C-alpha cells in the first residue's frame, strides 16, 4: 500500500472519490488543496474505452492549449540546411542531424519534445527504441514530423502538448500550474478534452472517455463528470 502524508490524507478526506463533479467545481476544489510553497503542475488523467492491443485503437495527438502549460518547454529539432537555421531562429533549444542522433544514442536527452522534418526520418527512425518508450519519437500523426518546422517549434514552445495512450488505455497530460486562474485551467482542460474526443477510433465501441481525473503534483485526484 502506498504511503501518503498526513497532509495528503487530510486533503483526500475532502474528496468523495467515487462521485464525479462538474469541471468548475473540480478545479475550485483542486486549487483549494494548494498548501505547498512550490507551483505544482496540474494534470488531467483519462481512461479511454479502447483496446490498446489493437493498433487501430491507439490514440495519439498534439494540441495547443489556450494558456500554455506554465513551463519552459525544451524543443529538439532534427533538421539540416535551411530548415535547421529556421528552427534555431524560431526558438528551438537543440538542432542537429546525425550529431543529435549520436547524442541521444549516448543517453543524453535534455529536451521535452522532439520534432523532425520529413527528410530526417532516415536518421530519426533508428532511434525509435530509445525515444518511443519516453514518448519522444517524432510522428506525423502527432504533428511532430512536419514541413512547417517554424510553426511547430513556436507552438510547442508556447505550450502545445503531445500525448499518447499507455498500455492500460490511459492518457495523462499536463494542463498548467496551480497558480493559473480557475478560468485558465478550465479553458485548458476543456480544450484538451474537446480535442481528445475528436480522436475516438472508429473501431472503438461504447463509452470513449470513461473517466476524467484532475490532480496536482502533491494533491489527491478529483473525478470530473466527463
Q: What is the 3-state secondary structure (H, E, C) of the chain?
A: CCCCCHHHHHHHCCCCCCCCECHHHHHHHHHHCCCCCCCCEEEEEEEECCCCCCHHHCCEEEEECCCCCCCCCCEEEECCHHHHHHHHHHCCCEEECHHHHHHHHCCCCCCCEEEECHHHHHHHHHHHHHHHHHCCCCCHHHCCECCCHHHHHHHHHCCEEEEECCCCCEEEEEEEECCCCHHHHHHHHHHHHHHHHHCCCCCCCCCCEEEEEEEECCCCCEEECC
- Joined together, the cell numbers standing for residue 63 give 494540441
What confidence score (pLDDT) does residue 15 get?
55
Alpha-carbon gap, residue 175 to 159, rounded angstroms: 9
Please give the chain's pLDDT, 226 residues, in tens: 455 555 555 555 555 556 899 999 999 999 998 877 889 999 999 999 999 999 999 999 989 999 999 988 999 999 999 999 999 999 999 999 999 999 999 999 999 999 999 999 999 999 999 999 888 999 998 889 999 999 999 999 988 998 999 999 999 999 999 999 999 999 999 999 999 999 999 999 999 999 999 999 988 899 999 6
What confidence score (pLDDT) does residue 135 get?
86
What confidence score (pLDDT) does residue 13 get?
55
Q: Please enumerate in sequence order all residues whose Cβ is within 8 A of that of 50, keeping only pairs 6 or more positions apart, or say none.
A: 57, 58, 59, 165, 169, 201, 204, 208
Q: What is the pTM of this model?
A: 0.77
Amino acid at each position: 500500500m502506498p504511503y501518503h502524508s498526513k497532509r495528503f490524507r487530510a486533503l483526500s478526506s475532502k474528496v468523495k472519490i467515487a462521485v464525479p463533479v462538474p469541471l468548475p467545481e473540480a478545479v475550485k476544489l483542486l486549487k483549494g488543496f494548494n498548501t505547498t510553497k512550490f507551483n505544482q503542475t496540474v494534470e488531467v488523467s483519462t481512461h479511454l474505452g479502447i483496446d490498446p492491443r489493437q493498433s487501430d485503437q491507439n490514440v495519439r495527438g498534439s494540441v495547443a492549449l489556450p494558456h500554455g502549460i506554465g513551463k519552459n518547454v525544451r524543443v529538439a529539432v532534427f533538421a539540416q540546411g535551411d530548415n535547421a537555421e529556421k528552427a534555431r531562429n524560431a526558438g528551438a533549444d537543440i538542432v542537429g542531424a546525425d550529431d543529435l542522433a549520436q547524442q541521444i544514442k549516448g543517453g543524453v536527452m535534455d529536451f521535452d519534445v522532439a520534432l523532425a522534418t520529413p527528410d530526417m526520418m532516415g536518421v530519426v527512425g533508428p532511434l525509435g527504441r530509445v525515444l518511443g518508450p519516453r514518448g519522444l519519437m517524432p510522428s506525423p500523426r502527432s504533428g511532430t514530423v512536419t514541413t512547417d518546422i517554424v510553426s511547430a517549434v513556436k507552438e510547442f514552445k508556447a505550450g502545445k502538448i503531445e500525448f499518447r495512450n499507455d498500455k492500460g488505455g490511459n492518457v495523462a497530460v499536463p494542463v498548467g500550474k496551480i497558480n493559473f486562474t480557475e478560468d485558465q485551467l478550465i479553458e485548458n482542460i476543456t480544450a484538451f478534452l474537446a480535442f481528445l474526443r475528436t480522436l475516438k477510433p472508429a473501431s472503438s465501441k461504447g463509452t470513449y472517455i470513461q473517466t476524467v481525473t484532475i490532480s496536482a503534483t502533491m494533491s489527491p485526484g478529483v473525478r470530473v463528470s466527463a
